[in-house]
Amino acid sequence: MGKTGQKGYVMILMRNKTIVATLVALTLGGAIASAEISESANWANEVSNHSANIQNYGGELLGPTTEWWLTGPADCDVNENGYAWDPEDQDTVGGWRGGMPNETMTMFWETAIPDLPGDDLTVYLYSGPGAGADVFASVDGSLFELIGTIAGGTEGYLREEVFDFAGVFMDDVQYIKVARTASGPQTGMFFDAFAGNVPEPGSLLLLVLGTVAVRRRRR
């Protein structure tokens, strides 16, 4: 290799090292690609699919302009007292009322949820005492596995339900689906937020390095 070629190689190497160093710093600082990693949680990024009658408590239907009700950190309990119906609280939830059977809702994560020791998913919600739902997880959005159930609670009082993937999946999870299992009086269920585990720094670093490698191959 001549001097000109050596110089060009060194410049490319230095540039790639700079890219890696910058991305590693961002990763370890928590500023990875998904803007929904905050408050030590990996929040759902979008509603992938839902049945026709998903709505907030006031009756407004979920749609493209209102999907933010269910993405990002929990936000319906403004005064954080665990009760969702105070005058200052927001109706930023999505779910189903008592008389609507067979409702489903699927959430999507840009940064997939890893299976780490302990609980992997937290769902923030409130529901009537007769409510019930199955909770499914999927790697690819097509094949779903049951990971647990949600039973009724005290109407209006927010709570957290946690789920452990428990080695069911070979790869990280990107889809969570909730499916109604009870209908009739006092079976309404409304969801405020969905939070997954944050990948460990080493895993995030591998994602970053993979991105850099793809860029180098393209060049």
Q: Is the pLDDT of residue 122 over 60?
A: yes
pLDDT (tens digit per residue) in 14-29: 444 443 344 444 444 4
Contact 181, 134 (CB under 8 A): yes
Per DSSP, the residues of 34-73 read -TTEETTEEE--EEEEE-TT-B-TTSPBP-TTTGGGTSSS
Query: Does the pTM exceed 0.85?
Result: no
Q: Is the pLDDT of residue 126 over 60?
A: yes
- Between helices 201-218 and 3-28, what is the axis angle to 10°? 150
Q: Provide mean pLDDT across the span 55-62.
A: 96
Identify the band that residue 34 occupies on the pLDDT scale cut at 50, 70 and 90.
very low
- Residue 2: what pLDDT? 55
In the chain, what are the domain boundaries?
3-31+203-218, 37-199
Q: CATH number for 37-199: choose from 3.30.750.24, 3.40.50.300, 3.40.50.150, 2.60.120.260.
A: 2.60.120.260
Q: Is the pLDDT of residue 218 over 70?
A: no
Q: Provide mean pLDDT across the span 82-111.
A: 94
